[in-house]
Amino acid sequence: MSDSEDENPDKQLKIVIMGDGASGKTSLAVRYSQENFGKQYKQTVGLDFFLRRIVLPGNIHVALQLWDIGGQTLGGGMLDKYIFGAHGILLVYDITNYQSFDNLEDWYEKIREVCKDQPKLPHIALVANKSDLEHMRTVKQEKHQRFATENGFTSHFVSAKTGDSVNLCFQKISAEILGIKLTKPEVEQQTRVVKADIVQYSNAESVPRATPQQNTRSSLCSVQ
């Protein structure tokens, strides 16, 4: 006899989050592991850890260890150790900061250097963050696509601020690493839908409140 945990232990995945300072790496880790976002920038010194457990199709239990690396570590002596043994690496940039995209070449070079004796590189995901700031975008989508395609990266567009596609990003990366195919409904389930009631106020009253008649006409707004 064995209990269900013994039958189905967590698969441990080491996921390293890399990229320039202020691109939003910590914000992504915090959004994913704590469903939270802070506007204030607090630089990561060295390394921080986050953990999230998920269940993938086929009742596969996965513990994602997120290694959130400070942007200043590029060029430092510890980066090799942080990268070593990673199953997946997120290369994160800020869509409003071209330099943060350009510098990913240097981060990628470091990964190749550290992994040069391994039979294959870890799964690498190119992550465009701050998609809520589309109006300030300086990195063209074609540039992103070309960089991803040329190097065999998977491609993700997210916002740590709104949470848009953050779950989906980590879900896809984990599934890909473990060779699990996600069906369309499983992907859609991870797509965040923001729902809001539409409330129309009566002009005749000074204190605004929703009228029953108006509510029956239009009750839900769904923004994706």
Residues lying near ligand GTP in the complex (CB under 6 A): 21-27, 38-39, 41, 43-44, 70-71, 129-130, 132-133, 159-161
Nearer to ligand GTP, 62 or 64 (CB): 64
Residue (102 or 132) nearer to ligand GTP, CB = 132
- By CB under 5 A, residue 23 contacts Mg ion: no
Q: Per CB under 5 A, does 26 bind Mg ion?
A: yes
Binding of Mg ion at residue 33 (CB under 5 A)? no
Residue 78 or 199: the one with the smaller Cβ distance to ligand GTP is 78
Q: How far is the CB of 199 from ligand GTP (least distance, A)?
A: 27
- How near is the Cβ of 83 to ligand GTP at its closest, in Å? 15
3-class state of residue 4 by DSSP = helix
Q: Are 74 and 25 in contact (CB under 8 A)?
A: no
Shorter beta-carbon distance to Mg ion: residue 13 or 30:
30
Q: State which of positions 158-187 bind Mg ion (CB under 5 A).
A: none
As a whole number of angstroms, the distance between CA 84 and CA 82 comes to: 6
Pick between residue 27 and residue 62 the one whose CB is nearest to Mg ion.
27
Alpha carbon of residue 125 to chain centroid:
10
Question: CA-CA distance, 15 to 115, in Å (whole number)?
Answer: 15
- 62 or 91, CB closer to Mg ion? 91
Nearest approach in angstroms of CB 213 to ligand GTP is: 39
C-alpha 149/C-alpha 140 separation (Å) is 15
CA atoms in the 13 A half-sphere facing the CB of 54: 21
Give the span between the Cα atoms of 21 and 94, in whole angstroms.
10
What letters, b where the CB count within 10 A reaches 16 and e where it falls short, cover 184-196? Answer: eebeeebeeeeee
- 44 lines the binding site for Mg ion (CB under 5 A): yes
| DSSP state string for 131-167 | GGGGGG--S-HHHHHHHHHHHT-EEEE--TTT-TTHH
Minimal distance, residue 96 CB to ligand GTP, in Å? 8
**Closest separation in Å from C-beta 159 to ligand GTP:** 4
Q: Give min distance, CB of 42 to Mg ion, in A.
A: 7
**Of 22-30, 105-113, 158-166, 191-199, which segment contacts Mg ion by CB under 5 A?**
22-30
Residue 157: other Cβ atoms inside 10 A: 18
Q: How many residues does the chain have?
A: 224
Contacting residues toward Mg ion, per CB under 5 A: 25-26, 44
